[in-house]
């Protein structure tokens, strides 16, 4: 018998439970849809990013030198300490695991790729964008490379100071008098206005590239380092590509009367080029008295990685297709 519409019956509890389950399912589905819609609308807002921060993917070049991976790992540990709760992953362009393609394939959602590279060049303009294009499931963008930036000049200054203390010949503001207007490239024509009472100079040893933008970026870093050193002239020297080699830069400084010459290692981590630059210096007429270590996991570099990540997010909402920032 069917119960009267206003009276409880044996099926009332069952009907109520079924309705409750249906309502629960509907509410869950609605909540999911609203959450997706809300997340999409907030993707450009600070609140959305705080709730679901995009993964920071640090893009390293890679090296067969085992110390390179250890150094990059230590750097990313510092980054994590600066931003607890921020997901941080590592991907290499070549030579080391994990490769960038594998790192991106394993991710979902949003990501910001921060190149642990010190200038613009083929890797920032071609390799990294190609990797993003091969990961269409990600909403991603590429931050600017680390250099040039005053934080790198700070880290280079610190590495020179460390090397100077070991060698007993400090390089830095206070150790030498300002050098006037400095030395402009090309080396042989920019000596006007240079006074060298303490005869110090620095070679900024960099990887080198055929891309002219890379040379511009390294030259800017050289100028920043010169200012940080109180006016000591800083000349770039390269391990590859066009431009003067490290021995040529040492000889250029020597020709201008500088006989206290240091080499600043403008590399993120140890590797073939860093070693090549260090080993090339004895061939010059004047062997540098100080050769600094690469930038490594210096705190200023870790702060710069976070800065590049934040700059990329602030520039525009993350949305597919992937966009690039400052590359």
Q: How far apart are the C-alpha atoms of 324 and 327, rounded to whole Å?
A: 6
260 and 205 in a single domain? The answer is yes
Q: What residues contact 214, with CB distance under 8 A and at least 6 apart? A: 119, 120, 121, 208, 241
Residues 261 and 252: beta-carbon distance below 8 Å: no
**Mean per-residue pLDDT, 74-103:** 97
Structural element, H or E, at residue 256: none
Residues 124 and 142: beta-carbon distance below 8 Å: yes
Residue 97 above 80 pLDDT?
Answer: yes
Which CATH number characterizes residue 83's domain?
3.40.50.1400
Span 132-150, pLDDT tens digits: 999 999 999 999 999 999 9
98 and 126 in a single domain? The answer is yes
The overall longest dimension of the chain from CA atoms, in Å, is: 112
Span 19-54, pLDDT tens digits: 444 443 443 343 334 333 333 433 344 444 447 799
C-alpha closest to that of 90 among 58, 138, 130: 58
| 88-92 sheet: strands from edge to edge | 88-92, 55-60, 109-115, 138-142, 323-324
Tell me what the pLDDT averaged over the chain comes to.
77
What per-residue confidence (pLDDT) applies to 27? 34
Which CATH number characterizes residue 170's domain?
3.40.50
164 and 273 in a single domain? The answer is yes
**Mean per-residue pLDDT, 231-235:** 96
138 and 159 in a single domain? The answer is no
Q: What residues contact 231, with CB distance under 8 A and at least 6 apart? A: 176, 177, 178, 179, 180, 182
Q: How far apart are the C-alpha atoms of 273 and 201, rounded to whole Å?
A: 21
Query: Of 47-56, 82-91, 213-222, 288-297, which range is least confident?
Result: 47-56
285 and 192 in a single domain? The answer is yes
107 and 139 in a single domain? The answer is yes
- Domain of residue 72: give its range: 47-147+300-324
Length of the chain: 327
Q: How many domains does the chain have?
A: 2
**Mean per-residue pLDDT, 76-96:** 97
193 and 178 in a single domain? The answer is yes
Residue 167 above 70 pLDDT?
Answer: no
Q: How far apart are the C-alpha atoms of 206 and 217, rounded to whole Å?
A: 11
197 and 98 in a single domain? The answer is no
Query: Of 234-238, 257-261, 263-267, which range is least confident?
Result: 257-261
């Amino acid at each position: 018998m069917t119960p009267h519409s206003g009276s409880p019956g044996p099926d009332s509890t069952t009907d109520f439970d079924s309705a409750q389950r249906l309502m629960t399912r509907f509410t869950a589905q609605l909540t999911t849809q609203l959450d997706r819609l809300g997340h999409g609308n907030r993707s450009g807002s600070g609140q959305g990013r705080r709730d679901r921060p995009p993964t920071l993917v640090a893009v390293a070049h890679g090296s067969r030198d085992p110390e390179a991976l250890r150094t990059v790992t230590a750097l990313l540990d510092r980054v994590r300490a600066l931003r607890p709760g921020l997901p941080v992953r590592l991907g290499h362009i070549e030579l080391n695991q994990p490769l960038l393609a594998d790192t991106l394939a394993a991710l979902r959602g949003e990501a910001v790729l921060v190149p642990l590279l010190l200038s613009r060049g083929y890797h920032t303009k071609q390799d990294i964008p190609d990797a993003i294009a091969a990961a269409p499931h990600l909403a991603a963008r590429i931050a600017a490379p680390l250099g040039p930036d005053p934080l790198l000049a700070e880290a280079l200054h610190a590495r020179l100071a460390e090397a100077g203390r070991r060698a007993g010949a400090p390089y830095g503001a206070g150790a030498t008098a300002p050098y006037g207007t400095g030395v402009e490239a090309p080396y042989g024509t920019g000596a006007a206005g240079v006074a060298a009472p303490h005869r110090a100079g620095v070679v900024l040893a960099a990887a080198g590239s055929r891309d002219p933008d890379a040379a511009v970026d390294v030259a800017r870093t050289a100028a920043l380092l010169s200012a940080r050193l109180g006016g000591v002239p800083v000349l770039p020297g390269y391990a590859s590509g066009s431009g003067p080699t490290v021995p040529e830069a040492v000889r250029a400084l020597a020709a201008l009367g500088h006989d206290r010459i240091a080499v600043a290692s403008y590399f993120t981590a140890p590797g073939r080029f860093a070693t090549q630059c260090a080993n090339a210096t004895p061939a010059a007429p004047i062997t540098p008295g100080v050769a600094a270590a690469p930038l490594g996991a210096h705190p200023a570099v870790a702060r710069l990685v976070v800065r590049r990540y934040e700059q990329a997010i602030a520039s525009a909402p993350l949305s597919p297709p992937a966009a690039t920032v400052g590359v």
